[in-house]
Every structure is written in C-alpha cells, then in structure tokens.
Amino acid sequence: MIDDNYRQRGLRNNLVKKLRLKGILDENVLNAIGKVPRHAFFDNALLSHAYEDKAFPIGEGQTISQPYTVAFQSEKLEIKPGDKVLEIGTGSGYQAAVLLELGAKVYTIEFQKKLYEHTKDFLPQLGYKPFFFFGDGSKGIPAKAPYNKIIVTAGAPIVPTALTDQLSEGGILIIPVGDRAKQQMVRIKKQNGKLLKETYDDFAFVPLLGEQGWRNA
Ligand code: SAM
C-alpha cells in the first residue's frame, strides 16, 4: 500500500486548482488527476516535486509528462466510461492511471523494455490495471483494434496512418506532431469515415520512435 497522507492530498488539490486556472474545464479529468497519487511515481530524491506542474525524469532517459499535458490530452479525448483507449508510450504509467480513473479500458504500449517491465510490475500495485504491451506503438496494436480513442504521449514527425486506420467510427486520436524540439497538438476525429483535423498549442515531448515515428533515437 502506498502512503497517501493528508499533506499529499492537499498538494494534489492545489495542483487541480492550478490546472483549472490554466484552462482545464472537464470536471471528470480534474477529478481523475485529483485521485491518482502522482508522488507514488517518483523516486525518493524527487518526491518534493511530485505535485509541481512539471515533467520529470523517470529513468532510461524518459519522462513522466507534465500534469497539464496529461489533463489537456485527456480532456481532448472526451473519454466516456467503457471507451477502449490505446496509449502509445506507457512511460511511468501515470497517464494510463488517469485514463483508468476516467473509466476507460486501457491498452498501453511501450518501446523500452526496462520501462515496460518496471511499469507492468509497478502500476497494478497501485490498483491500476491496463493491458500492457511491449513494442513499436507507432504501428498501433492492430490485433486489438479498433479503438474509440488513441493517445500518443511522444512527439511524432507525422500522423501515423496505422493509428488513424485503427480508430473506430466516431473515434478520436490525440497526438503531438512536429520536429524533435517541439510539436503542435493535433486532434483527429473519424466521422463518416473521414478524418477531421483540429490543431492546438505547441508542446515538447520526447520523440516517438519506430517505423512510423523517428527512425533513430
Ligand atoms: N505516458 C507517459 C507517462 O504518463 O508517464 C509519458 C510518456 S514519455 C513522455 C514517452 C514514452 O514514449 C517513453 O516512455 C518512450 O519510451 C515511449 N515511446 C517512444 N516511442 C515509442 C513507440 N514507438 N512505441 C511505444 N512507446 C514509445
């Protein structure tokens, strides 16, 4: 059992207030962020930073995304309980935990073996049980498709056609697209078989590697 005390819950409530002020309006998303014990994802040395609105290193050169980014992408996905969601880039598992709190059925894929193994072991200890996959998520997971929602949590050079192909009718894909330094957040909705694209602000993610991502690390 992880220690989730009064102080940590207080810090988490303050984080939720900050996200609201930054423009996150979806109460379900804010509630979900208010429930996931983000401090449990941090090494002891970094514990005091757990409820800052910042990304942090989690080992293997990777990061746990900034809470605002997690909230923003989650909000844009318009998750309904029971939605089947594919997440590309499991990382620490924090985003997957937020999606599970929103009532989604989550399939998450990670390309780094050590991270995959760590998170597959760790996340269920917090009570969060997505389906874990190891491999190149830039190709999606065709065997489990279609998905109501797809979220990419690494910066892509293009929108992989594999992912739009694996969206169900009415489905939504949220993906940061750009160069290695910064990416524009892109949302794609599949309606009557057509892909409708909306764009938002810039973000900075680690690169999406793989066949339909960046070819070299
Ligand atoms: N969602 C994560 C969280 O909540 O902590 C943050 C993800 S981190 C910003 C991006 C992750 O994408 C890294 O763990 C990286 O190894 C992974 N990644 C990069 N390319 C990938 C690919 N082709 N397939 C699956 N995962 C990939």
CATH code for the domain in which residue 199 is found? 3.40.50.150
Residue 1 lies in a domain: no
User: CA-based angle 179:185:188, to the nearest 5?
Assistant: 115
Residue 100 lies in a domain: yes
Strands 183-191 and 194-203: antiparallel
The burial class, CB within 10 Å (0-12 / 13-18 / 19+), for 44 is: exposed
Helix (H) / strand (E) element for 7: namely: helix 6-21
Residue 210 lies in a domain: no
Catalytic residue, chosen from 48, 65, 138, 168, is 65
Residues 6+ apart with CB under 8 A from 42: 49, 50, 56, 64
Q: Which residues line ligand 1 (CB under 6 A)?
A: 62-65, 88-89, 91-92, 94-95, 109-112, 115, 136-138, 153-154, 205-206, 208-210, 213
Number of domains in the chain: 1
Strand partners, 188: 173, 197
pLDDT given at position 59: 74
CA 88–ligand 1 middle distance (angstroms): 6
Which of 108, 209, 212, when mutated, tests ligand 1's pocket best, judged by the most ligand atoms within 8 Å of its CB?
209
The whole domain housing 146 covers: 6-203
pLDDT given at position 57: 85
CA 177–ligand 1 middle distance (angstroms): 14
Residue 50 lies in a domain: yes
Helix (H) / strand (E) element for 75: namely: helix 67-77
Strand partners, 85: 106, 149
Residue 105 lies in a domain: yes
Low pLDDT (below 70) residues in the chain: 1
Residues 6+ apart with CB under 8 A from 207: 154, 155, 180, 213, 214, 217
| Helix, strand, or coil (residue 92) | coil
Contact 176, 186 (CB under 8 A): yes
Strands 147-152 and 84-88: parallel
Q: Whose CA is nearest to atom 19 of ligand 1?
A: 208
Residue 213 lies in a domain: no
**Crossing angle of helices 94-101 and 67-77, rounded to 10°:** 40
Residue 15 lies in a domain: yes
Number of the ligand 1 atom closest to the C-alpha atom of 137: 24
Number of the ligand 1 atom closest to the C-alpha atom of 139: 23
pLDDT given at position 1: 67
Q: Sign of the C-alpha dihedral, residues 33, 34, 37, 43?
A: positive
Closest C-alpha to 50, from 104, 110, 92: 92
Q: How far is CA 147 from the centre of its chain?
A: 15
pLDDT given at position 61: 73
Residue 208 lies in a domain: no
Per the annotation, the verdict on 65 as an active-site residue is: yes
